[in-house]
Every structure is written in structure tokens, then in C-alpha cells.
């Protein structure tokens, strides 16, 4: 049987928080898919529901109703232990604040997910070196995060996210704490991983300026998907139409 190309499939995802007698609906029926090898951006302003959706995508929270299929498995109904195992092996996390362990070296930080997955020490060490080289920091294995720049810390976080060869990388505002030049370098690295190594990436951000980087954009507004286009998307569509007409 051919391998399914759908990594993430969200079906009518709803999330309502209850405080006393008050019900607060945050997600109001999200339907979305992420295909293998895609670079997808979930874009939304504060209050749009993107943080809640991020937690559900990362299996850190469960929807009130709906289905979240990860490589065909409905993960919402699994036990905490089963979810933790899948989360460790299927999802690579990248955070705005890097979330590296300051007392650990670069190599040890990259190895953390593999440690939880009980990968043998020699295999972990070899994999950490390979990944550090992949993000351009093979010469920094013995350094600690406090000895690295912000861009270097994020590169190490990306290497760590790749350590267990996950189904997809879930990136939460990964350039939010970086200057423009470093942000562009990190986005270039994401493109390299996505295009040259077929890494599936889901990025959650408030920044619409990042839109042109993605293969597909899913805009969130007030807990729903907003199908309106950005101005640059309209311009790109018009340009593509003009190019097609010229080819004819």
C-alpha cells in the first residue's frame, strides 16, 4: 500500500474553555490538511485561536470535539502515555525562545528527544553530529547555549527538532526573537530543509509578512479559517495568470 501523503488532517476541530458557568469558544470548526513535504503557515493575530491550535497540533491539548489525524491515527483519543510517545517521535518542536537547556552542551541539547526515545548513546552522538553539521554548527558541539548567538541557538533548536526524524516540524514564532538578518537566515534554512530534504514544516505565526515563504497559508480569525487573500497573494495570482497568457 502506498504511503499516505497527508501528515496532518484536522476535521471540524472545536475548542471551548469552561470557567464556572461561562463557556468561551476559541476554535469554531477548523478543517485543514498538511501534506507530506509542504511548508505550511498558520497565520493569525492575537485572539484568533492560533495558540490553542498550536497546542492541539503539538498534542499539548485536546479538542473539545472533532478529529486530529496524525499520519492517519486519531490521536485525540489516545492515552497520555501513547500521546507522549507519538509526540516525541512524530513531532519536532521549535520555539520562539529556543528552550535549550543552558547547562547542556550543543550535542547534549540535540540528543534530548533521542534520550526520551531510548536511542543508544553511540547512535545519539553520531546523529547529533550529523544534525549539527546540517545546520552549519558542527564546530560548536561542545559549546553551551550561553556561548551562542540567538541565530545559533535557533539552529541548534532546529537540529534538535529533527533528531527523531519526525513526521513534521511544528515551529512557534521561530524568528520572533531574532533580528531581520538572522530571521532571514533561519527562514532560508527552513527552505533548505523543506525543498532539499523534504522536511514537512508547520509554522504558527502572527506575522503576515512571512506569507510569501509558505507553500500554503491557513489564516485564522476569531477561531475560524479566513479565506480572504492577502494583497501579495492577489498580486501573485495576477502575475501567474499573465505569465500563462503569455505562454499561450
What is the domain-level CATH number for residue 137?
3.40.50.300
7 part of a folded domain:
no
Check residues 229 and 218 and name the one with the higher pLDDT. 218
What does the alpha-carbon distance between residue 60 and residue 46 come to, in Å, rounded to a whole number?
19
10 part of a folded domain:
no
Judge whether residue 91 has pLDDT over 90. yes
227 part of a folded domain:
yes
The alpha carbon torsion through 98, 219, 34, 79 (nearest 10 deg) reads 70
Short-list 119, 148, 120, 121, CA closest to 136 = 148
* Mean pLDDT rounded to a whole number for the chain: 91
Judge whether residue 3 has pLDDT over 70. no
Short-list 60, 31, 34, 28, CA closest to 47 = 28
141 part of a folded domain:
yes
73 part of a folded domain:
no
Judge whether residue 1 has pLDDT over 60. no
Question: Which pLDDT score is estimated for 59?
Answer: 94
Sign of the four-CA dihedral 4, 5, 11, 13: positive
Judge whether residue 163 has pLDDT over 90. yes
Per the CB < 8 A criterion, the answer to whether 99 and 154 are in contact is: no
Judge whether residue 77 has pLDDT over 90. no
Percent of the chain whose predicted confidence (pLDDT) is above 90: 78
Question: Which pLDDT score is estimated for 231?
Answer: 65
The alpha carbon torsion through 106, 112, 118, 124 (nearest 10 deg) reads -20
Q: Which three cell numbers stand for residue 198?
A: 523534504
The whole-number average pLDDT for the span 217-230 is 86
Give the helix/strand (H/E) hosting 86: helix 80-90
Domains held by the chain: number: 1
Judge whether residue 233 has pLDDT over 80. no
Q: Cell 531510548, residue?
A: 118
Question: Which pLDDT score is estimated for 229?
Answer: 66
The angle subtended at Cα 9 by Cα 7 and Cα 12, nearest 5°, is 170
Q: Which three cell numbers stand for residue 178?
A: 531574532
Judge whether residue 169 has pLDDT over 80. yes
Domain that holds residue 235: 33-54+79-247
67 part of a folded domain:
no
Give the helix/strand (H/E) hosting 72: none
Short-list 43, 37, 30, CA closest to 204 = 43
Short-list 109, 165, 101, CA closest to 132 = 109
* pLDDT tens digits, one per residue of 17-46: 998 889 999 999 999 999 999 999 999 988
Sign of the four-CA dihedral 43, 44, 45, 49: negative
What does the alpha-carbon distance between residue 246 and residue 233 come to, in Å, rounded to a whole number?
20
Kindly indicate the confidence band of residue 2, based on its pLDDT and cuts at 50, 70 and 90: very low
Pairing of strands 6-19, 168-172: unpaired
Judge whether residue 248 has pLDDT over 90. no
Q: Which three cell numbers stand for residue 79?
A: 492515552
Question: Which pLDDT score is estimated for 60?
Answer: 92
Question: Which pLDDT score is estimated for 209?
Answer: 85
163 part of a folded domain:
yes
16 part of a folded domain:
no
Question: Which pLDDT score is estimated for 67?
Answer: 95
* pLDDT tens digits, one per residue of 93-151: 999 899 999 999 999 999 999 999 999 999 999 999 999 999 999 999 999 999 999 99
Amino acid at each position: 500500500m502506498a504511503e499516505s501523503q497527508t501528515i496532518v488532517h484536522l476535521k471540524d476541530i472545536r475548542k471551548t474553555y469552561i470557567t464556572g458557568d461561562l463557556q468561551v469558544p476559541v476554535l469554531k470548526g477548523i478543517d485543514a490538511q498538511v501534506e507530506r513535504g509542504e511548508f505550511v503557515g498558520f497565520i493569525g493575530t492575537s485572539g484568533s485561536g492560533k495558540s490553542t491550535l498550536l497546542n492541539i497540533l503539538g498534542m499539548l491539548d485536546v479538542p473539545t470535539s472533532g478529529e486530529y489525524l496524525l499520519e492517519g491515527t486519531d490521536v485525540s483519543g489516545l492515552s497520555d502515555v501513547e500521546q507522549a510517545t507519538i509526540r516525541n517521535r512524530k513531532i519536532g518542536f521549535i520555539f520562539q525562545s529556543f528552550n535549550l537547556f543552558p547547562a547542556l552542551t550543543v550535542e547534549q541539547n540535540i540528543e534530548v528527544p533521542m534520550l526520551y526515545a531510548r536511542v543508544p548513546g553511540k547512535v545519539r552522538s553520531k546523529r547529533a553530529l550529523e544534525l549539527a553539521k546540517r545546520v552549519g554548527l558542527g564546530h560548536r558541539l561542545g559549546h553551551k547555549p550561553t556561548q551562542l548567538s540567538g541565530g545559533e541557538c535557533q539552529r541548534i533548536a532546529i537540529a534538535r527538532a529533527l533528531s527523531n526524524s519526525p513526521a513534521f516540524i511544528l515551529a512557534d514564532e521561530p524568528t520572533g526573537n531574532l533580528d531581520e538578518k538572522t530571521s532571514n537566515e533561519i527562514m532560508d534554512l527552513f527552505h533548505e530543509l523543506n525543498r532539499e530534504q523534504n522536511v514537512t514544516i508547520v509554522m504558527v505565526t502572527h506575522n503576515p509578512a512571512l506569507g510569501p515563504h509558505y507553500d500554503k497559508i491557513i489564516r485564522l480569525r476569531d477561531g475560524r479559517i479566513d479565506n480572504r487573500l492577502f494583497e501579495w497573494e492577489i498580486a501573485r495570482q495576477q502575475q501567474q495568470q499573465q505569465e500563462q497568457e503569455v505562454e499561450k
